[in-house]
């Protein structure tokens, strides 16, 4: 069985059943981890370099941490944009000192 088909079969088997859920829906984070572990175990006998690649992917793909860090990066970008806009507006205020700008 092709690795992608195998991964999809594992993900569908491990994913919680939902009404109308098709094979195109993503599985939960734990199902992804389980699938990668199973693929890694199978790949060790077939192609050691493939097993190494899957291990690296599994190590770097912690879905929950990835989601949290993505949200954090997004919030930091929004905060930076807001602060830059505030600084631009304060720069346009005539006669305002740095201390005045900080208070506003």
Residues 39 and 70 in one domain: no
Residues 45 and 95 in one domain: no
Neighbouring C-beta atoms of residue 24, cutoff 10 Å: 7
How many folded domains does the chain comprise?
A: 2
Mean pLDDT of the chain: 63
Q: What is the pLDDT of residues 70-80, one digit of tens each?
A: 767 777 888 88
Query: Does the pLDDT value for residue 82 go beyond 70?
Result: yes
| 49 burial level (CB within 10 Å; 0-12, 13-18, 19+) | exposed
Structural domain range at position 86: 64-104
Whether pTM exceeds 0.75: no
Residues 70 and 33 in one domain: no
Q: Which two tokens stand for residue 62?
A: 């912690």
Instruction: Please give the average per-residue pLDDT across 83-97, as a whole number.
Output: 74
Query: Does the pLDDT value for residue 11 go beyond 70?
Result: no
Instruction: Please give the average per-residue pLDDT across 19-24, as a whole number.
Output: 45
User: Residue 76 in 3-state DSSP?
Assistant: helix
- 8: nearest Cα among 40, 32, 44: 32
- 30: nearest Cα among 44, 9, 15: 15
């Amino acid at each position: 069985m092709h690795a992608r088909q195998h991964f999809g079969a594992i993900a569908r088997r491990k994913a919680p059943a939902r009404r109308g859920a098709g094979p195109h829906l993503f599985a939960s984070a734990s199902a992804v981890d389980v699938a990668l572990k199973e693929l890694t175990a199978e790949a060790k006998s077939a192609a050691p370099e493939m097993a190494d690649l899957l291990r690296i992917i599994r190590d770097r793909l912690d879905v929950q941490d990835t989601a949290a860090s993505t949200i954090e990066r997004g919030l930091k970008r929004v905060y930076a944009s807001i602060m830059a806009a505030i600084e631009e507006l304060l720069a346009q205020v005539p006669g305002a000192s740095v201390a005045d700008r900080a208070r506003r």
